[in-house]
Amino acid sequence: MKPHRLGALFMRHLYLYRRSVPRLVEMFYWPLLDLLVWGFITVYLSQFRQTLPGFVTFFIGALILWDILFRSHQGISVSFLEDIWSKNLLNLFASPLSAMEYISALMLVGLFKLVITATVMTLLAWVFYSFNIFLLGFSLIPFALNLIIMGWTIGIITTAIILRFGQEAEVLAWALGFLFMPISAVFYPVSVLPSFLQTLAKAIPASYVFEGMRGILNSGTFSSAQLLRAFGLNALYISLAFLFFRWNFKVVKKKGLLVRIGE
Amino acid sequence: MPEAVVEIKGLTKDFKTLRAVDDVSFCIYPGEILGLLGPNGAGKTTIIHMILGLTTPTSGEIRMFGCDLKKTRQACVQNANFSSTYVSMPNSLTVKECLKVFARLYKVKNRNKRITEVLNIFEIEDIQNHMVRTLSSGQQTRLNLAKSLINSPKILLLDEPTASLDPDIADKTRTMLRSITRERNISILYTSHNMKEMEEISDRLIFLHHGKIIAQGKPKEVIKNYRGKNLEEVFLKVAREGHP
């Protein structure tokens, strides 16, 4: 893993975003739209505070945290698509760049993009709705870290699938993350899910983060054992995702698919 | 005979039931321009992709600078580069930004100096701040070629590099490629469908058909051996009859 090669790819994407207004708009458009819709729903529901549980006011926090996961996923998969769309993939892989270096660079690009988006969303949530995500305290760091790692995992798997099945699979760059949303307990507790989905939710690291967030905002406490479990699951999944990508990259080169997707 | 820059032995590539490259063996020597000729689907591009490690061979051996490509790919391709008409540079970046990215990727020393050099070689210094998407196809080809020289490679793999150039720029490009092979002892593996160009630029030719080498030698020898008036005539015989 050579830092200069990671730096080169990071720079390539930085150049891209620096002057591309549509790409910059895309970075903020959906988060802003989500924030407005869910923010106003929260404001509306808070008028019925006597009959509704308190956690409805946590929608905005859930939204910001979910966006961390989603942007982390997109940071990898959409950046990969940028290289396919510009027919530049072969130039990159004809260089000494390894597949693992490529993925690691995209992870950094994703991290950079989500830090910017999350900062803007946090500021807007505070300005528009007086919602302070930092109420979560230091637990915000492990929460965010878990969501970033899960987003990376989904991004790596998406990239591997697109490499294998070509641009027909590119819709996954946006869609795959949402597949995990219903069982991640983003806006509701795991307990409302049917029992078989509750079992599935227990295997999803993000569900522990969102349960933890609600716990803190409700009672000021959360289970650190559950958070450790989330880290454990994430460590397992991202390791498997790397192995899957590595294996898939070999298969793609063997089948001659890398050059087909790169031209 | 000097030590080969690239040595290929028994290279074979199967795609399901199709044998794209069939037991091909050849060497590329320092400072040599080796032309790969053949009809569409003859296996030229697949060979280039295998030398770059973009496609894995079914069997056979590729040695670059004396090392096994399979075991030391990263070190090998550090001293190689490639350009293809079918591969582009990121179109939302400027010419100079593209070269900066690739200079960093190959860890080029004195990056700015080297970028200026390659811009000058291909006479594109005046468009260095232009976005790639605004370039003509000829300018894009010259940018690809500039990128292919950014790391001062010892071996260049060029897949139809002049396909989109006008005759004037194509001629200048050939002259430039000839001069850099002489001055810097760079070896080039070159594919083109322009027979006149292949005749003019190649020190040696390899004729491929259905993945097999069916003829090789110096351009004049190949033409003479196969009783053609020129390379185009030999090529047409190969494409239509399957043999020279």
Tell me if chain B has a CB within 8 Å of the CB of A260: no
Distance in angstroms (rounded) separating the CA atoms of residues A238 and A154: 9
Distance in angstroms (rounded) separating the CA atoms of residues B51 and A153: 32
Assigned CATH for B1-79+155-161+186-244: 3.40.50.300
Looking at CA atoms only, how far is residue B177 from chain A in angstroms? 20
Average pLDDT over residues B103-123: 94
| CB neighbour list of residue A54: distance below 8 Å, 6 or more residues apart | A218
Sheet-wide strand order for B67-68? B18-28, B6-15, B59-64, B67-68
Which among B76, B87, B143 is the top mutation candidate for probing chain A, defined by the most A β-carbons within 10 Å of its own β-carbon? B87
pLDDT digits (tens, 9 = 90+) for A56-101: 567 888 888 898 999 899 889 999 999 998 889 999 999 999 999 9
Tell me if chain B has a CB within 8 Å of the CB of A7: yes
**How does residue A258 score in pLDDT terms, banded at 50, 70 and 90?**
very high
Mean pLDDT of chain B: 91
Percent of chain B with pLDDT over 90: 62
Average pLDDT over residues B230-236: 85
Question: Measured between CB atoms, which of A19, A98, A262 is closest to B87?
Answer: A262
**How does residue B111 score in pLDDT terms, banded at 50, 70 and 90?**
very high
- With beta carbons under 8 A apart, name residues in chain B contacting A6: none
Strands B80-84 and B204-209: unpaired
Average pLDDT over residues A15-30: 85
Question: Measured between CB atoms, which of A88, A254, A258 is closest to B89?
Answer: A88
The residue in chain B having the minimum alpha-carbon distance to the alpha carbon of residue A1 is B74
**Of A50 and A139, the one with more pLDDT:** A139
State whether A87 and B107 contact (CB < 8 Å). Answer: no
- With beta carbons under 8 A apart, name residues in chain B contacting A7: 104
Question: Measured between CB atoms, which of B46, B74, B94 is closest to A96?
Answer: B74
State whether A15 and B46 contact (CB < 8 Å). Answer: no
Percent of chain A with pLDDT over 70: 96
Distance in angstroms (rounded) separating the CA atoms of residues B225 and A219: 90
- Please tell me the total number of residues recorded for chain A in this structure: 263
Looking at CA atoms only, how far is residue A178 from chain B in angstroms? 29
Distance in angstroms (rounded) separating the CA atoms of residues B176 and B124: 14
pLDDT at A61: 83
pLDDT at A54: 57
Average pLDDT over residues B82-103: 93
- With beta carbons under 8 A apart, name residues in chain A contacting B46: 256
Question: Measured between CB atoms, which of A86, A96, A262 is closest to B77?
Answer: A96
Distance in angstroms (rounded) separating the CA atoms of residues A70 and B205: 53
The residue in chain A having the minimum alpha-carbon distance to the alpha carbon of residue B72 is A96
Tell me if chain B has a CB within 8 Å of the CB of A49: no
Give the residue from A201, A244, A259 showing the smallest Cα distance to A226.
A201
Average pLDDT over residues B117-127: 92
| Burial class, B206, CB count within 10 angstroms (exposed 0-12 / middle 13-18 / buried 19+) | buried
Predicted ipTM?
A: 0.91
Distance in angstroms (rounded) separating the CA atoms of residues B114 and B94: 17
Whether B233 shows a pLDDT value over 80: the answer reads: yes
Q: For residue A243, how many other CB atoms are within 10 A of its CB?
A: 11
Q: Report the range of poorest mean pLDDT among A229-243, B55-69, B228-242.
A: B228-242
Pairs of CB atoms within 8 A across A/B: 103
State whether B88 and A87 contact (CB < 8 Å). Answer: yes
Domain boundaries, chain B: 1-79+155-161+186-244
State whether A95 and B106 contact (CB < 8 Å). Answer: yes
pLDDT digits (tens, 9 = 90+) for B177-224: 888 888 888 999 999 888 888 988 999 999 998 999 988 999 988 888
**How does residue A262 score in pLDDT terms, banded at 50, 70 and 90?**
low
Distance in angstroms (rounded) separating the CA atoms of residues B174 and B62: 27
Tell me if chain B has a CB within 8 Å of the CB of A202: no
- With beta carbons under 8 A apart, name residues in chain B contacting A4: 104-105, 107
Average pLDDT over residues B41-61: 95
**How does residue A49 score in pLDDT terms, banded at 50, 70 and 90?**
low
- With beta carbons under 8 A apart, name residues in chain A contacting B20: 256
Amino acid at A129: Y
pLDDT digits (tens, 9 = 90+) for A108-149: 999 998 898 888 888 888 888 887 777 777 778 889 999 999
Question: Measured between CB atoms, which of B87, B94, B104 is closest to A90?
Answer: B87
- With beta carbons under 8 A apart, name residues in chain B contacting A5: 104-105, 107
pLDDT at B126: 95
Looking at CA atoms only, how far is residue B194 from chain A in angstroms? 21
pLDDT at A164: 93
pLDDT at A47: 77
Average pLDDT over residues A242-248: 96
pLDDT digits (tens, 9 = 90+) for A193-206: 999 999 999 999 99
State whether A91 and B77 contact (CB < 8 Å). Answer: no
Whether A34 shows a pLDDT value over 80: the answer reads: yes
pLDDT at A52: 57
Distance in angstroms (rounded) separating the CA atoms of residues B48 and B60: 14
State whether B54 and A90 contact (CB < 8 Å). Answer: yes
